[in-house]
Structures are given as structure tokens and as C-alpha cells.
Amino acid sequence: MRVDVVSIFPSYFDGLELSLLGKARATGLLDLHIHDLRGWTGDRHRTVDDTPYGGGAGMVMKPEPWGLALDELTADSPSARPTIIFPSPAGEVFRQATAREFAHRDHLIIGCGRYEGIDERVFEYATTLGEVRLMSLGDYVLNGGEVAAMAMIEAVGRLIPGVVGNPESLVEESHEDGLLEYPSYTKPSSWRERAVPDVLLSGNHAAIAAWRREQQIVRTRDRRPDLLAD
């Protein structure tokens, strides 16, 4: 999978060189490119923002650098219609199902906005080049799209076959079956007067599976009743 990220803070993404995703990049499973939006500016100050028409607080990202960035990155795309993602608190919520959907794409382009956002015409123009998705990480406001982009790259990247060593660990985790994950324990069996639940030491695999399922349901009901309603 190819992923291109456009940001005015490319060094945010240095952390993606670590751990499993870093290995996926080194082995070529994830072809990740981070670009500085200012590379598509033409003026001496490499200006990316300006004041909003109609007034109001803050600055808006200018359309011209974004247009040039999208032209270049889509012209060189391995996909006839790349998926162009803009992190935004005004977007649809990014979920595990979205991560699964994006993991099937050949090419993701992620445009990270800052300030009060990107000139709206950029989103319209982008629909002529690919499938445009405005994605929110959740109902809170970040300073820009970078942290959201990193979260999405990690959630999608680990679903690329071969990125996570043991594919079974993908099946049993939170959200894969619509429920939260069951609790986990390791040695010692007693720690600071707290014992591991007996059933996990019983060797009875059917009883362990039933207990874990029950824990998933109890946890989901207590912590995330909205998931059960869905």
C-alpha cells in the first residue's frame, strides 16, 4: 500500500519509523511518503494560509499549494482513483470498520489541515481526482490533522497482511467483533494479594472461552453501552 501524507509539520511523522510500522516500511509492505506542503508554495515566505473571507478568527489554508500537491500526488498514483483523506473534526468518525475498508486501498493520500481549516474548494476539487473522505478521530478538537493522520495510518497499516506477525492477535482485540477485549493476565498467578481468575488456570479451554466472552459483554455494557445498542 502506498500512503502519501501532506503536512506543514512533516517531523510529526518521525514516530512512524518505529516498531511494527517502521518494519513494514523497511520491508516494503507500507510505502509511506511524508511531504511538506510548503514545497508546493511559490513565494519567498512559503505562505500556506491567509485571512478568512467574511471575517472571523484565525487563518485559513490557501487552496493553491493544496491543488498543486494533489495534482502531483494523484498523477503519480498506483490507483485509478486514490482515496484522499482529510482529517477533520467535522468529518465522519473513523472506526475499526473504516480502518478495514482503507486497508484494501492501493493508495491513500492524507492532507493535514491546520489553523481554522482548508479552503473549502480544495475538498470539491479533490473529488475530481479521487474518493474524498473527511475523517474525525472523535468528538474533540485537535490543533491539526497530524495526530489524527498518525492514528489512522497505524490503525490501517497494522491490518496490511504481514505487518502484524501473528494475525490471530488481530482477531481477538477490541472492536474486531463489535465488543471490547477481555482482560488479560500473565505470571505471577498472585501479585500484591491479587489472584488471576481461577478459570484461566484450569486448562479447560471451553470454560476459558466462555468466561472471556462473558467478560467482553460485561465490559462493553459497563464502559461502552453505545456499542451494544449498535
Q: Does 142 participate in binding ligand ADE (rule CB under 6 A)?
A: yes
Q: From the list 65, 82, 87, 111, which residue makes contact with ligand ADE (rule: CB under 6 A)?
A: 87
Q: From the list 58, 138, 183, 197, which residue makes contact with ligand ADE (rule: CB under 6 A)?
A: 138
Question: Based on CB atoms, which residue is closest to ligand ADE, 63 or 89?
Answer: 89
Q: Buried b / exposed e across 44-77, counting CB within 10 Å, b at 16+? A: eeeebbeeeeeeeeeebbbbbbbbebbeebbeeb
Stretch that binds ligand ADE, among 19-27, 135-143, 199-207, 212-220 (CB under 6 A): 135-143
Find, among 151, 31, 59, 42, the residue nearest to 96 by Cα.
151
Q: Does 7 participate in binding ligand ADE (rule CB under 6 A)?
A: no
SS3 category, 15: helix
Q: Does 148 participate in binding ligand ADE (rule CB under 6 A)?
A: yes
Compute the chain's Rg from CA coordinates. 22
Q: How many residues bind ligand ADE (CB under 6 A)?
A: 12
What residues form DSSP beta bridges with 182?
none
Q: Does 88 participate in binding ligand ADE (rule CB under 6 A)?
A: yes
38 neighbors 62 (Cβ within 8 angstroms): no
Measured between alpha carbons, how far is 49 from 60 in angstroms, rounded to an integer? 5
Q: Does 136 participate in binding ligand ADE (rule CB under 6 A)?
A: yes
Q: Does 52 participate in binding ligand ADE (rule CB under 6 A)?
A: no
Q: Which residues bind ligand ADE (CB under 6 A)?
A: 87-89, 136-138, 140-142, 144-145, 148
